[in-house]
Structure 1
Amino acid sequence: MDKKLLDILVCPLCKSKLTYNRKGSELICKADRLGFPIRDGIPVMLEDEARKLPADEDIE
């Protein structure tokens, strides 16, 4: 994931900073506990496409 792109992307719902999960190939919003997928190197920043993170899943 391009560092410059990660610095400017924010959660489309709450506008908080996102973290990159290399293993899951997704961008994580800790505030909303959502994982936005990255497909073919392009972040999909749509609420309908986001994965809800289970309460027991550790987000760093």
Structure 2
Amino acid sequence: MVARHCRAKGVGSRLVAIAADEARAAKCAWLHVDFEDHLRPFHLDACGFKETTAGLIAP
């Protein structure tokens, strides 16, 4: 999460970009994100995540 006074300045999307670069460098197969629906535009549009079908079981 980005501090309120730093939001809307590209900080969050840059952090995600760095995480993606590091995941690629580490030869990770996937970088996964869970988010609330109101954050969909940020994750899908600003950060480039692709929507996928998935399932979840709470233990």
- TM bucket, shorter chain: under 0.3
Q: Which has the higher helix share?
A: 2
TM-score by length of 1: 0.26
With a CA cutoff of 8 Å and minimum separation of 6, indicate the structure with the bigger relative contact order. Answer: 2
Q: Which has the higher strand share?
A: 1
